[in-house]
Chains A and B, each alone.
Chain A
Amino acid sequence: MYNKEKLDAQKAERENWEKNKIAKTLAKRPERKAEFTSTSGFEVKRLYAPEDIADLDYNEDLSYPGEFPYTRGVQPTMYRGKLWTMRQYAGFATAEESNKRYKYLLEQGQTGLSVAFDLPTQIGYDSDHPLSEGEVGKVGVAIDSLKDMEILFDGIPLDKVSTSMTINAPASVLLAMYIAVAEKQGVTPDKLSGTIQNDILKEYIARGTYIFPTEPSMRLITNIFEYCAKHVPKWNTISISGYHIREAGSTAVQEVAFTLADGIAYVEAAIKAGLDVDEFAPRLSFFFNAHNDLLEEVAKFRAARRLWAKIMKERFNAKDPKSLMLRFHTQTGGSTLTAQQPDNNIVRVAIQTLAAVLGGTQSLHTNSRDEALALPTEDSVRIALRTQQIVAYESGVADTIDPLAGSYYVESMTNEIEKRAAEYIAKIDELGGAPKAIERGFIQQEIQDSAYKYQKEVEKGERIVVGMNKFQIEESAPKGLLRVDPVVGEMQKEKLKALRAERNNNKVEESLAALRKAAEGDENLMPYILTAVKEYATLGEICGVLREVFGEYQQSVIL
């Protein structure tokens, strides 16, 4: 990229500067730390200059937005054409409550919906299952049947609003319910746009809401790819996630590596199931974290885009340019927010928002200041939304594309992260791919080691968390936090009783029997699930049948 002569001259000047100016300054005042490292563990130098990116080839390594390898962004005009979707994850208690919150957020300027389900729903249990005791409606909305889903989206036009659903093991069932609700609104499936998370591998790694073992889970996922390619073409069938891997304690490099490794596993599974890569790959999407180290995060997003594009092209021979584009949603890092001095979290989220936007995210959820304490109040979530709006309209960073490109530091880091992530992926390949690596506990062990290292650094004071291990104050307990009334559990149980009385139980039995038979064979299960859902079979009943046929995942824990 640079003229060799000029480059040599620059290097010489730098050496001169280090030997003289720097040496003198250090003698008078040493630097704050003996070593500066990024959260991924590599050295952060005092200064970056042309020599650090001497081999960078603009056309090959960066190119233009919307052009391979998409380092600078996947859309040609990026935010000048359309701002990222402001999509706040929300949901709690009953469908009625959540519906109210969705309408509030849409009124306040949110541009897409994101549904949070409670743990029983995520794990395929109805609200009256013994294991659901105490958990109904706590971390998200309780959905036991299509009836709840109808209430959840009441008054929300599904042909106008795109919806992301954070659901994994029973994603097929919730997707079927969404399609059924849309039909009742008169909206055909081909008009629906949205996402289901549907990423089981990261559940095994870091999140824990799995149900079935690996093989049948992959089958359900590829069934969904196939079904949507034909019937719901605007739907993002998977959100391959790194967010939770990072929350579990991984570094930025590991976040990229393990996410893309999971992605590779899904692509391989779909190809094995007989799909053509360009049939489903355009609808794969990703989900990353936005952490505090602003510049490292920006580099991370760019590295991920470039690496995935190369993988899809070279490894899978994808031809459709859309198959090569890494589109992603971002959430600001929940684990970076503190219970101490919660208002500080607003500042953290603002920095993380900048990271995501400068990194070219397609949609963004910003956490609320009470993240470490409870689910957000209306006020807290509004501030989080305003944070995105201020960055969008007042900061100027959305007015030009990939503004940090060319920065010696950012380009250097992008290269470094790509390189290290690729090394990890190669290692995982050696182990036989992500599912095998998970079985052996390799990925989990790496994450735990990073998590423990981080904790030790914080406790030793080597890593500062403002308000927590430095700049603390005496605080009283915060007031006015959101609480989910335990009566929600009872209400859902009542609703279930009523539902079972008023539906056609024969039809339900029939549909479940048909589902069971199909599950034992190898047909696509989506049509069967859709039928069962429309007869108002409950989530627990449908998942119960699948549990019987597929068995349950056995956790293999490495500590």
Chain B
Amino acid sequence: MDIRAGLSSGSKRAAARLITMIENGDPEAIEIIKENYHKTGKARIIGITGPPGAGKSTVTDKLAKLVRKQGKKAAIIAVDPTSPFSGGAILGDRIRMSDLNTDEGVFIRSMGTRGALGGLSKSVHGAIKVMDIFGYDYIFVETVGVGQSEIDIVKIADTVLMVMVPGLGDDIQAIKAGIMEIGDVFAVNKSDREGAEKTATEIEVMLDLNGMTEYRPPVKNIIAKDNKGVEELWEAIEGHYEYMVSSGNFNKRREKAIETEVLEIFKQNLLDKVMRLQKNTEYLSGLIIKVFKKQMDPYTAALELANILNKEEGK
């Protein structure tokens, strides 16, 4: 398949294939991204996170529809957990976005975490770039919703929407302040359920504790499946964007995201290089055995491993 040709014609098939290539670490994919990197940066990236069962997919579906109403194109990346045992995954978020399936201006891609410890693999970064290059105006990244992925999404998205749902009870307290901090906008979904008031209040209290002065994340009550409150939610998301731009933070945040990404790539490259270099001699295995036998400590072993690079340079 000629991806480059597909790129100029905006072919969804080409975009999809390019994402696959990135997921599989195909170096050709990186070349294509390099050639087109100057085209990125126009898309607004919205992260959608929150606990399982909150209705993230339904919210994403409704927001994407709003985007379409405005005549803009929407891309959705839905991430689901890969089983650590089998390496497989069931990616079921598309089900809640059935109508969007055949909308020309929408692209939906489901991705497994594929063992990424952070819950968001670097493939997601890659997929976002592809969507950007292919001209999607808004890119929604829907995360798994547990633990680390919430933290990761901040490093990628321009705006993070946190979707909460009543009835989690003590879980609100359990969703520690650290996690709550990352939300730029909060939605209490299924707000017709008992406890919605309480949930909204608890979020407000936590926001009070965080003592933000410049920008106070809005908390919106919605019922996504009935499309209630979704327009107000979108206004809140746009509101965050406007604040970020007028305060100069938009660019700062993006620069931080780039810094994170560059360092990640650097780390990965370095690690790959070291692993490649030591492969024939199985140097790493040898070090591990030494550490296991207490003939060496882990810190020294790590230094020794790094020495491979020096040796290589020294050649």
Q: Which A residues contact B (CB, under 8 angstroms)?
A: 440, 554-559
Contacts and interface: CB of A to CB of B under 8 A. Distances in A.
| Residue from A440, A555, A556, A558 having most chain B Cβ neighbours under 10 A | A556
Interface stretch (B90-98, B110-118, B270-278): B90-98
Interface residues of B, number: 7
Contact of B96 (A440, A556, A559): A556
Contact of A559 (B53, B58, B90, B225): B90
Nearest to B95: A557
Contacts of B95: 555, 557
A559 B95 CA distance: 11
Interface string B181-201: 000000000000000000000
Contact of A554 (B90, B92, B225): B225
B96 A554 contact: yes
A440 B92 contact: no
Given A555-B95, A556-B96, A557-B95, 8 more contacts: A440-B53, A554-B58, A554-B96, A554-B225, A557-B92, A558-B92, A559-B90, A559-B92
What is the interface of chain A mostly: helix, strand, loop, or mixed? loop
Interface string B207-231: 0000000000000000001000000
Contacts of B92: 557-559
Interface string B83-127: 000000010100110000000000000000000000000000000
Nearest to A557: B95
B17 to A, nearest CB: 26
Contacts, number: 11
Nearest to B53: A440
Nearest to B58: A554
A554 B59 CA distance: 13
Interface of B: 53, 58, 90, 92, 95-96, 225
A440 B193 CA distance: 12
**B interface SS class:** helix
11 contacts: A440-B53, A554-B58, A554-B96, A554-B225, A555-B95, A556-B96, A557-B92, A557-B95, A558-B92, A559-B90, A559-B92
A242 to B, nearest CB: 26
Contacts of B225: 554
Contacts of A554: 58, 96, 225
A440 B167 CA distance: 11
A557 B90 CA distance: 12
Nearest to B224: A554
Nearest to A554: B225
Nearest to B94: A557
A516 B188 CA distance: 33
A19 B96 CA distance: 60
A558 B58 CA distance: 14
Contacts of B53: 440
Nearest to B57: A556
Nearest to B225: A554
A409 to B, nearest CB: 39
A266 B35 CA distance: 62
B54 to A, nearest CB: 12
A557 B96 CA distance: 8
What 9 pairs between A and B have smallest CB-CB spacing?
Answer: A557-B95, A559-B90, A559-B92, A554-B225, A557-B92, A555-B95, A440-B53, A554-B96, A556-B96
Nearest to A440: B53
A557 B53 CA distance: 11
Contacts of A558: 92
Nearest to A553: B225
A554 B100 CA distance: 14
A375 to B, nearest CB: 30
A216 to B, nearest CB: 12
Contacts of A440: 53
A558 B92 CA distance: 8
Contacts of B96: 554, 556
B301 to A, nearest CB: 43
A440 B53 CA distance: 8
A559 B92 CA distance: 8
Nearest to B61: A554
B99 to A, nearest CB: 10
Contacts of A559: 90, 92
A556 B225 CA distance: 10
Contacts of A555: 95
B315 to A, nearest CB: 53
A550 to B, nearest CB: 12
Nearest to A432: B194
Contacts of A556: 96
Contacts of B90: 559
A556 B61 CA distance: 13
A556 B56 CA distance: 12
B235 to A, nearest CB: 24
A490 B53 CA distance: 44
A214 B3 CA distance: 46
A461 to B, nearest CB: 22
B56 to A, nearest CB: 12
Nearest to A555: B95
A559 to B, nearest CB: 5
Contacts of B58: 554
A480 B183 CA distance: 64
Nearest to A436: B193
A556 B58 CA distance: 10
A285 B96 CA distance: 34
Contacts of A557: 92, 95
A440 B166 CA distance: 13
A422 B165 CA distance: 29
A558 B53 CA distance: 10
A6 to B, nearest CB: 52
A440 B54 CA distance: 10
A556 B53 CA distance: 10
B170 to A, nearest CB: 16
B169 to A, nearest CB: 12
Nearest to A431: B167
A306 B95 CA distance: 40
Nearest to B190: A439
B196 to A, nearest CB: 14
B81 to A, nearest CB: 12
A493 B288 CA distance: 75
A555 B61 CA distance: 13
B229 to A, nearest CB: 17
A440 B92 CA distance: 15
A237 B305 CA distance: 76
A95 to B, nearest CB: 33
B145 to A, nearest CB: 14
A469 B194 CA distance: 50
A554 to B, nearest CB: 6
A553 to B, nearest CB: 10
B33 to A, nearest CB: 33
B51 to A, nearest CB: 13
A201 to B, nearest CB: 17
